[in-house]
Chain A
Amino acid sequence: MSRLDKLLAGWTFRTATPTFEPGEVITAYVSERNGDGLTVRIGDSVIRVEDGGGAAVEDKVRLEVTSFDATNHVGTGEVVEVLGPDA
């Protein structure tokens, strides 16, 4: 990312409920763990993962979005890679 891009990023009003496309791969922190499953909140949008692998709360994961309902801001996804907690 260039210096100018860094300076110009985010000069917008970002929604509380971002939307995602199926097939999109995103990086995010795990918000909650429920049994084997994970909940990832991006703002007020929620992506649920059935098999969370070894990921814990606050771990960063690479996530493939498998479905997303833009009306209710809820989707499902699969963990591609567990990146782990921040240093």
Chain B
Amino acid sequence: MPEEPDIELSFRGGRLVSALPIALFIAWAIFQSGILGIGDTTGLVAGMLTGLIVGLLFVRGDWKDYADVIFAGMTRRVAATAVVAWLWAGMFAETIQVGGFVDGLVWAATVLNVGPGLFPAVTFLLAALLATGIGTGYGTAIAFTSLVFPAGLLLGANPVLLFGAILSGAVFGDNLAPVSDTTIVSAVTQDADIGGVVASRVKYAVVAATLAIAAYLVAGFGIPGVWSGMPYVDVAGEVSASVSPWGLVHLLDIAVVIALAVRGRHIIEAVSWGLLLAAAFNLTLGAANLVDVSAGSMLLFSAPQNGLTQAVEALPLLGAVVETVPAGQVGVGGSVYSGAAGFFPLIVLTLLLVAGAEVMRAGGGFDAIQELVIDRVATTVRRAETTMVVGTALVNATVTINTAAEIAIAPYVATLGKRFNINGYRRANILDANTSALGYIFPWGGGLLAGYGAMQGLVGGEATPWFTAEMLVNPASVFPYVFHGWFLVAVFLFAAWTGYGREYVSDRTSEEVSRV
């Protein structure tokens, strides 16, 4: 893709004013999600649009240059790569979910007779497995809170600890999965190949996860004080869920995606193979009546009732994905549709955020902040890495949609890291680990709110009539128990100080970015 020649912008009030669009966006994000508690990504899109318009008013000279800079930002390769990755990963994740994959995991836990003490630790492992496979921590938080959380309560596990374990698993997957949006952003922005980034971050994730499993075992089996200090409702024996093991066949298509990814295939190729395989499994399982899934679960045209549509509905093959409905319910649905559509607001937000970052670059705002940080704070490699860890954590603690926060901080991590020739893999790891962790710890974090939303859906739900509003876990009470998130941040502070896992650019260079 040919890049436009770099345009320079001049702002009334100096270089730092070029940060106004992004600064306004961050303020908007804190107000909307932090203060008002609204986790609506499209609302953040409105915030970024507002920021870009306000920024225009401060431009000296031709406003057309500002418009050109926005275009230059939106057409950057980093934006296109993220968009493609999200669309493919979204379709894949949704397709294995309609194929009963989560049910399969619940079945396994039930068959293995996992008790209340062990349940949080096992939930952490299973959530981590799912999140690593499907690459979406939000999706995992939603799926596990909807399905595994009630199963855990029925077994007598502690609700707060269990919710913390689910969020920890989401952190693990967001951090490690090759198809995770945050993994992709971290690799693309630090000019490293995704396969190499994933391989190089195992050494941090394993250390943090080992500590987290130990912590969930200790807390689960009830050290006095941890156990007694947490709210607990006894609903054991209320209902026993009957779930099918067959969704576990989707472990195979997840394995195919991971294997192709590790072999360095392009993300479109790797995930397309996984998606085709998952669809084939779904059709087979559905036809054999083993899982409640059909072609219509993956793609469904709900057409208004008339002679033509009823004729199409009656056709063989094509009729399987067409149904006729009353006029008010017309639309397209299914996992391929909703999996991709779920990312639309985030895609638009990303394009606009990249445009905002470009405005800041063209106006000299990045240079101004970098000079300050590099000259005053990050004077040694240890201090530079610590600044990268703390800076990423702080931005993620304030901007609650973690992918958006990651995109905003990524250019700083790149520049600061390159100044000390810190390897692209290491930079991507510092960026992604702290992004993944913080988005699930604080009560206003997008991942936590996604899971909490699913928990609210349990109240009076058909499958969970015993779940009442009093049993909801307060989002503000769960943060100490997101053990994997805390340990991951701690591992990176330790690594920055001691040099654990540190690599320099001169040690090895990363491969082509577009490889998974």
Report A's interface with B, CB cutoff 8 A.
1, 3, 6-7, 9-16, 18, 20, 26-29, 31, 40-44, 58, 60, 86-87
Contacts and interface: CB of A to CB of B under 8 A. Distances in A.
Given A16-B381, A27-B509, A43-B381, A9 B503 contact: yes
Q: Is the interface of A mostly helix, strand, loop or mixed?
A: loop
B220 to A, nearest CB: 30
B503 A14 contact: yes
B191 interface: yes
Contacts, number: 89
Interface in B466-506: 498-506
Contacts of A41: 381, 419-421
Contact of A10 (B195, B200, B418): B200
Contacts of B508: 1, 9
Contacts of A60: 505
A80 B200 CA distance: 29
Given A16-B380, A41-B420, A7 B499 contact: no
Contacts of A28: 421, 504-506
Q: Max chain A CB contacts within 10 Å: which of B202, B203, B419?
A: B419
B262 interface: yes
Given A28-B421, A31-B419, A18 B200 contact: no
Contacts of A13: 498-500, 502
Given A29-B421, A86-B191, A42 B506 contact: yes
30 contacts: A1-B508, A3-B195, A3-B199, A3-B262, A3-B263, A6-B195, A6-B199, A7-B200, A9-B200, A9-B503, A10-B203, A10-B425, A10-B501, A13-B498, A13-B500, A13-B502, A14-B500, A14-B501, A14-B503, A15-B499, A16-B499, A18-B506, A26-B506, A27-B505, A29-B421, A29-B505, A42-B420, A42-B504, A43-B421, A86-B191
Given A6-B195, A12-B500, A14-B501, 18 more contacts: A3-B199, A7-B199, A7-B202, A10-B200, A13-B500, A16-B382, A26-B506, A27-B506, A40-B421, A41-B419, A41-B421, A42-B504, A43-B420, A43-B421, A44-B380, A60-B505, A87-B191, A87-B513
B195 to A, nearest CB: 7
B421 A6 contact: no
A52 to B, nearest CB: 16
B415 interface: yes
Nearest to A11: B203
B513 A43 contact: no
A61 to B, nearest CB: 10
A87 B199 contact: no
Contacts of A27: 505-506, 509
Interface in B428-475: none
A35 B195 CA distance: 39
A29 B202 contact: no
A41 B200 CA distance: 23
B266 interface: no
A6 B429 CA distance: 14
Contacts of B202: 7
Contacts of A6: 195-196, 199-200
A7 B203 CA distance: 8
Interface string B242-257: 0000000000000000
B253 to A, nearest CB: 20
B265 interface: no
Interface string B208-226: 0000000000000000000
A10 B420 CA distance: 17
A20 to B, nearest CB: 8
A15 B502 CA distance: 8
Interface in B339-382: 380-382
Nearest to A58: B418
Contacts of A29: 418-419, 421, 505
A57 to B, nearest CB: 8
B501 A11 contact: yes
B504 A14 contact: yes
Contacts of A3: 195, 199, 262-263
B503 A18 contact: no
Nearest to B1: A87
A70 B501 CA distance: 22
A54 B281 CA distance: 57
Interface in B170-217: 191, 195-196, 199-200, 202-203
Contacts of B419: 29, 31, 41
